[in-house]
Structure 1
Amino acid sequence: MSKKYQQVVELINERINKQSYQPGDKLPSIRDLSTQLAISKNTVIRAYQQLEAGQRIEAHPRSGYLVAKRANPGITAISEPGYVDLMSLSKEIMSLSLSRQVLAAGSAHPDTRFPAIRSLYAEIGRHSRYQTNIPSHYQLPPGNEDLIRQLVFINQELGVTTSANDILITHGAQQAISLSLQAITQPGDIVLVESPSYFGNLLLLESLGLKVVEIPASITSGIDLQALKQALDRWPVSAIIINPSFNNPIGYVMSQPDRLTFLAITSGIPIIEDDVFGGLAYNHRPLPLKALDVENRVIYCSSLSKTLDSRLRIGWVIAGKYQHQIEKRLMTDNMGSLNLMQSAVGQFLTTGKFRQHLGKIRKSYAKKQRLFFQTFTAELDRYSWLQNHYHLSQPEGGFLCWLTLPKSANCNDIYQQALRHNISILPGSMFSTQNQHNHCIRLSFATFDENRQWEKGLEKLAQIIASHLKPRE
């Protein structure tokens, strides 16, 4: 059952879609809607914040909330296909050292302070010593047999039933997506992505000379299916990249009905499903697109980077009808993989410690999400001009959240100010090609702890944001 605030969001969206509320109409006050629906004011506040973050409504001083004005509410504005130009910005931000940071909320690396990680590296050490006693050789595709057998079970738990013959081991999910794009596109082809979209995928599109069309995505429900259909009607699309479960960066989970609709709308088009956070559901999640695909066209990409350690660089691809093309590219790209890492991780996965580890980290991230939200929103709400004018997402899996600020915010400036105080965040400008998310920030709570360091860091970050947005006298 959806949470109460989500029910309010759905109610307001339904009234807007049915044009019961017209663009520019004033919505019921927080107090009035609370009374009408017999719910708390905080529930209404959170629903209105989410609707504002999704640009469905607008907050106006002394006027309350109004339905957002659009020239044509039935049509979503979609930019023309264009090339990506994010390399210089991404290189500058990603090359910064983490060693001096007081608040490491910018990276998407998992928390590695769990017993299983120590056991994993002990296994890697044993395999390293063993490797000195055998002849040197390459680990040829599709990969280490023991590791692949274990990945069959892992994929089954993720909802994807497959066989060992269907799995190709890659150098992280990033290589899996890169090889998939190379196999199904040519330079100049058009690829659809969500907006905002993971910057690593945008950089791949840039390096491969592909054109991009960004489809708006909602923090709650994901990619705008109406806008998706409009784009497919307008342009010849070669592929779609989508991250429908605990999305990076905004955290949404696409519902199962929407997944089926998505597959119906995109029939015949290759889909690259990025599912690196799929194993980090706090409770449950819908089946992956790969499990719902009846055309064998969904290319499923995942890795152990978010569930174990990003330094392992072990990913995999289940490519369906495109497996042969991708395996050929995997062979010519690598001429072999890291046999040490593959054999050690394969052995570690046979111990059963990974399953226990998953249970622990899911509970840990769920707790961290609640505490991070409570701590940071309390700091932001200390400033009257920020109250009810921001939205911090609360994902149901993973360890990333998305802060949406008023449109006047420049998160590149906030990023630079935070950096001077050794606080790491990622500005929203990294997650689009048109700079349309420059009022947003991606944050990680993977390593959040209830300690003075994090409290001081979040207090300072809230102060920086408040100072940046403080109204002029």
Structure 2
Amino acid sequence: MNYITDAIEQGRFEADEKLPSIRVLSELLTVSKNSVIKAYEILEAQDVVYSVARSGYRVNVLVKQENTALSPPTDVDLLSVAKAVLTVSKERHNMPAGSAHPSSELPAVKQLYAEIGRHSRRQTHTPSHYQLPPGDTNLLKQVTKITEQNGITSKPSDIVITNGAQQAISLAFRAITCSGDIVAIETPCYFGLLLMLESLGLKVLEVPCDPVSGMDIDALESALQQWPIKAVLVTPNFSNPSGALMPVAHRKRLLEVCKNVSIIEDDVFGGLAYAQPLPSLKVLDENDSVIYVSSLSKTLDSRVRIGWVISHRHQASISKRLISESMGGHNLIQSAVADFLSTGKYRQHLRRAQKLYQENTLQFCKLLRQALDSHCVLKGSYQLTMPKGSFLCWLVLPAHVCGYYVYRQALAKGISILPGRLFATGRQFEHCIRFSLANFHDTILWREAITELAEIIALQLK
């Protein structure tokens, strides 16, 4: 019932338009046909839908919703949907564009693991110990150099090494919020962050985002005036999933409207800008209100789980929470990554990655547009983002396309993508799809998969 009413309220079905059949909804929502029949019967009794003999159900009442109105803060309930999507088979796909992991084929990755191998052999001859916060001394120095290259002035004592950016953001939230507090986030938003907010018991207020320029600062300002928001989580550089890049003027205004509110800046994709990078919020911040988070998970390799957080004001609190929950980090990985970074190979690796991902994005989007445009029902009716960095791509389809249905049909054909419903607390991005292009190859397999995906979308739209 919620699925049907949400679809009507969000405009995916117009008045008198035919709704999905009982069989289709049963397969899509993985419920019994009897459940679908019961839902339709109740909605018919409520005059939301009406039945047509031998033709199924149609929309009776169209509930219009103002796009400019912000929905009130809500609890996150995404775990069941995320687990259903993330527990797919690990088998190889014809088109592996689902998970957002960087390419493991770049030379630096092999060099990194060779360094890890050397450190693992060396550590067999040393006493076992924990790597206490803030982290390996040499790694802190190397991270300081990375942040300096990004324009951020910091000292090793300002940095805390974490188990990836996800833990860094979680620690930052715990340092500045309590369970039940309201936090503002971008929508669409990376589902891993939504799951983390769910586990922390925080209420989220979703602020609309433009797929090109990012968070709507006017909407955020309005939200700050309406609700007691304790923190704002934002990804100015190539947000996940849309790839939006926030202009400098928007960044400055964001800092202005959040004078008394802490900002957590997630900058995991910042190192993958195709052109001259824009100054981070941390660089522009004059009031020490920005907690800066980054990692090597998107720029180098996601398996090493090295992230960091910079916050002069909350550094002690974050370190205390880190040591109390995990006694620090992995000394083997931290020392090995530190030695790898000290060779200077990381900067060369970033240049190669930037070039590779830009080429991948341009070619994939060209092929996908050609495939979509070959269907008259799709030509001119979709929006495909062209981000200026990272390796993600966001496809917005006509409002009544079900991205989750497309996802399931594609997966059965060996095509891995991510459905838009993962990136919000509701179903407002049900008609969207995210692609990860770090491992794109212009091969016959990929081209055939892109063609097949376009056919699936066109059939679903019809």
Query: Under a length normalisation based on structure 2, what TM-score does the superposition of the two structures give?
Result: 0.85
Query: Given the alignment of the two structures, is residue 282 of structure 1 paired with residue 274 of structure 2, yes or no?
Result: yes
Query: Given the alignment of the two structures, is residue 418 of structure 1 paired with residue 410 of structure 2, yes or no?
Result: yes
Q: Among 223, 229, 245, which residue is 2:215 paired with? A: 223
Q: Give the structure 2 partner of residue 392 of structure 1.
A: 384
Q: Give the structure 2 partner of residue 60 of structure 1.
A: none
Q: Among 62, 72, 75, which residue is 1:80 paired with? A: 72
Q: Give the structure 2 partner of residue 305 of structure 1.
A: 297
Matches within 5 A, 1:348-367: 348-367=340-359
Alpha-carbon distance between aligned partners in 2 of 1:436 and 1:320, rounded to the nearest angstrom: 37
Q: Deviations over 1:261-283 (max 9, x none)?
A: 01101111011100000000001
Query: Given the alignment of the two structures, is residue 440 of structure 1 paired with residue 432 of structure 2, yes or no?
Result: yes
Q: Is the CA contact (8 Å cut-off) linking 1:103 and 1:422 kept in structure 2?
A: yes
Deviation of the 1:384 alpha carbon = 0.8
Alpha-carbon distance between aligned partners in 2 of 1:352 and 1:130, rounded to the nearest angstrom: 22
Matches within 5 A, 1:56-75: none
Q: Give the structure 2 partner of residue 186 of structure 1.
A: 178
Structure 1's consecutive aligned runs of 4 or more residues displaced over 3 angstroms after TM superposition are: none
Query: Given the alignment of the two structures, is residue 123 of structure 1 paired with residue 108 of structure 2, yes or no?
Result: no
Deviation of the 1:99 alpha carbon = 1.8
Alpha-carbon distance between aligned partners in 2 of 1:89 and 1:351, rounded to the nearest angstrom: 42
Aligned length: 399
Q: Deviations over 1:176-227 (max 9, x none)?
A: 0011111111111000001101111111110011101000000111111111
Q: Give the structure 1 partner of residue 44 of structure 2.
A: none
Alignment CA distance shift 1:347-1:232 (3 Å):
same
Q: Give the structure 2 partner of residue 381 of structure 1.
A: 373
Alpha-carbon distance between aligned partners in 1 of 2:116 and 2:410, rounded to the nearest angstrom: 37
Q: Deviations over 1:352-407 (max 9, x none)?
A: 11111111111111111110110111111110110010011000000001000010
SS in 2 for 1:82: coil
Q: Give the structure 2 partner of residue 110 of structure 1.
A: 102
What percentage of residue pairs aligned between the two structures are identical?
A: 50
Structure 1 residues not aligned, in runs of 5+: 1-69
Q: Give the structure 2 partner of residue 272 of structure 1.
A: 264
Alpha-carbon distance between aligned partners in 2 of 1:420 and 1:370, rounded to the nearest angstrom: 27
Q: Give the structure 1 partner of residue 450 of structure 2.
A: 458
Amino acid at match of 1:410: C
Alpha-carbon distance between aligned partners in 1 of 2:193 and 2:399, rounded to the nearest angstrom: 25
Amino acid at match of 2:331: N
Alpha-carbon distance between aligned partners in 2 of 1:463 and 1:159, rounded to the nearest angstrom: 46
Amino acid at match of 1:314: I
Alpha-carbon distance between aligned partners in 2 of 1:354 and 1:81, rounded to the nearest angstrom: 41
Alignment CA distance shift 1:403-1:71 (3 Å):
closer
Q: Among 143, 149, 159, which residue is 1:167 paired with? A: 159
Alpha-carbon distance between aligned partners in 1 of 2:92 and 2:361, rounded to the nearest angstrom: 24
Q: Give the structure 2 partner of residue 59 of structure 1.
A: none
Amino acid at match of 1:271: I
Deviation of the 1:97 alpha carbon = 2.6
How well do the aligned residues superpose, as a CA RMSD in angstroms? 1.1
Deviation of the 1:98 alpha carbon = 3.2
Q: Give the structure 1 partner of residue 86 of structure 2.
A: 94
Query: Under a length normalisation based on structure 1, what TM-score does the superposition of the two structures give?
Result: 0.83
Q: Give the structure 2 partner of residue 153 of structure 1.
A: 145
Amino acid at match of 2:88: L
Q: Give the structure 2 partner of residue 58 of structure 1.
A: none
Amino acid at match of 2:147: N
Amino acid at match of 1:308: L
